[in-house]
Every structure is written in C-alpha cells, then in structure tokens.
Amino acid sequence: MIHRYRIADDVAWVSQEDLDGGSEPTAYLTRVPGGPPILLEGSGCVVWLALAEGGTMEELTAAAAAMSGSTLAEVTEDVETLIDQLVAIRVVRED
C-alpha cells in the first residue's frame, strides 16, 4: 500500500514568503485551536512547502530536492525523518 502525506486539516500556517520574503525559507504553523507554535526553517520549510501539495514519500522527497537544488541521495533520509516527526505530532496526515 502506498501512503500519501498531507498537511492536517486542523493546521494553520504561513510562510515567511507570505509575510516579508526573507532570504531563508521559514514556515510558522500550529494546530488550531490551542496547538503550540512550530517554526520550520531552511530545509524543514522546503519539506513543508512540498507537503502543501501532498504526495507520496517519493514525490515529496523529489519536490524537496528540486526546491533546494539537492540530489535525492542528499535529502531522502532527512525528508523521511522530518515527515515521520510531523506525523507523530499530528500536523501531517498519512493516508
């Protein structure tokens, strides 16, 4: 069975690009209502932006690699680890 990942329905978020267009990608997110604020910077934000489109682990890894100008080999382990952590804190859904 192929798993697909997406941002959970009860998560509100904004990227720094939406706020001020700074040089390092940054996303601010929280579960609504009452979740703690979470800050994802750099490559973590790149993975989050890939998750905004949703997809399989392979699709998300390829998108993150393309956005960061990296190879799949360079990012695969980090992308998988971060997505697993985001699923564990329930800001990302695994369908």
pLDDT tens string 47-91: 999 999 999 999 999 999 998 899 999 999 999 999 999 999 999
Q: What is the mean pLDDT of the chain?
A: 92
Predicted TM-score (pTM) of the model is 0.90
The mean per-residue pLDDT over the stretch 28-50 comes to: 94
pLDDT at 75: 95
Q: Where are the beta strands (DSSP E) in the chain?
A: 4-7, 11-15, 26-31, 38-41, 55-56, 92-94
pLDDT at 18 over 60: no
Cis (ω within 30 of 0) for the bond into 33?
Answer: yes
Q: Where are the domains of the chain?
A: 4-94
